[in-house]
Amino acid sequence: MRFGFHISIKGGFSKVVERATIKNCETIQIFSRNPRGWQHKPLVCGEVEKFKKDLKIFGISPLFIHMPYLPNLASSNPGLHTKSRETLEDELKRADLLGASFVIVHVGSRVQATEEIAQLNVIRGINAALQRVENGVGLLLENTAGQGGEIGYKFSQLKEIIRGVEDQKRIGVCLDTAHAFEAGYNLSTPQGLETSLDEFERFVGLKKIHLIHLNDSKTPLGSHSDRHWHIGEGHIGLDGFINIVNHPLLKNLPGILETPCKDDKEDLKNMGVIKGLVQN
């Protein structure tokens, strides 16, 4: 498993790889823009080329782009849904320019809509975006904790959305360990992990997983409360992550850590812990 972190783009893309190497990253995830706003600046060609060159020099791959926080493809509000779909289209284009293999998107919140309508909204938005942006970038649905009106916390919900996507070659899943645990999938024990993976295979298919977000959970099993925590210090625990990173069906996937970070020391500690769990 290749390990990495979500890396800040503050100050420009030219600073990203330096930050990644300090944290001993082998793969990285980034935002391509300000994640808390709708507006964005166009990518600067020279800066992008340096970024891609640096990634190659330091052997950091694959690169993942995470969608901003504001879009909600599950929304039934016409204006918000349109803006969300347009943002996804922009991200697919920007990911291609940056050399990313995938864009990761939160499935979304149903708000006042039914689960079924929300799922149809997501399907409609994805199909429209993939039709409008025909490139090689894939889209990964990130499972949720089921907090508030979130959908996509059950593997059966992911199945319904993925089944409705027309371009099956460009749709997959980013499996977040904290979100899955908080949604009720017990990844902390060998039996719980096997049961969860069996269910995922039955509903979605393990071949659809292209990335794992490696996060411990500060809240208990089935809490539906999204709180990431340091590896081995939460309710999944060290034994849980030993099983996850060494599982024969998962160990060859890239893993991105989104653990709490006050400074580089915290990230280096989490990186050291997760790498120390790998059994050769």
pLDDT cut 70: percent of the chain above it:
100
Q: Which residues are catalytic?
A: 36, 66, 69, 106, 142, 176, 179, 213, 226, 228, 258
Q: What is the pLDDT of residue 218?
A: 98
What average pLDDT does range 208-212 have in this prediction? Answer: 98
The pLDDT tens digits of the residues spanning 65-88 come to 999 999 999 999 999 999 999 999
Q: In CATH, what class is 3-276?
A: alpha beta
Neighbour-count burial of 120, counting CB atoms closer than 10 A to its CB (0-12 exposed, 13-18 middle, 19+ buried): middle
Over residues 111-119, the mean pLDDT reads: 95
Predicted local distance difference test score (pLDDT) of residue 89: 98
pTM across the whole model:
0.97
Q: pLDDT tens digits, residue range 217-273?
A: 999 999 999 999 999 999 999 999 999 999 999 999 999 999 999 899 999 999 999
Render the chain in DSSP notation, one character per residue.
--EEEE---TT-GGGHHHHHHHTT-SEEEE-SS-TT-S--PPPPHHHHHHHHHHHHHTT---EEEEPPSS--TT---HHHHHHHHHHHHHHHHHHHHHT-SEEEEE--B-TTS-HHHHHHHHHHHHHHHHHH--SS-EEEEEP----TTB---SHHHHHHHHHH-S-GGGEEEEEEHHHHHHTT--TTSHHHHHHHHHHHHHHT-GGGEEEEEE-EESS-TT-----EE-TTTSSSHHHHHHHHHH-TTTTTS-EEE----SSHHHHHHHHHHHHHT---
60 vs 7: CA distance, rounded Å: 12
Give the mean pLDDT of the chain. 97
For the chain, give every domain's residue range.
3-276
Confidence at residue 81, expressed as pLDDT on a 0 to 100 scale? 97
Return the CA Rg of the chain: 18
Indicate if the pLDDT at residue 107 is higher than 90: yes
Tens-place pLDDT, residues 156-196: 999 999 999 999 999 999 999 999 999 999 999 999 999 99
pLDDT at 233: 98
pLDDT(280) > 90? no
Q: How confident is the model at residue 137 (pLDDT cuts 50, 70, 90)?
A: very high
If pLDDT is split at 50, 70 and 90, which confidence band does 21 have?
A: very high
Those residues whose C-beta lies under 8 Å from the C-beta of residue 258, and which sit 6 or more positions away, are: 5, 6, 29, 176, 213, 214, 215, 228
CB 81 within 8 A of CB 75: yes
| Whole-number pLDDT of residue 195 | 98
Instruction: Report the pLDDT value the prediction gives residue 204, as an integer from 0 to 100.
Output: 98
The percentage of the chain sitting over the pLDDT mark of 90, rounded to a whole number, equals 98
Q: Is the pLDDT of residue 278 over 90?
A: yes
pLDDT category at 28 given cuts 50, 70, 90 is very high
How big is the CA angle at 16 (ends 99 and 47), to the nearest 5 degrees? 60
Q: What is the pLDDT of residue 39?
A: 87
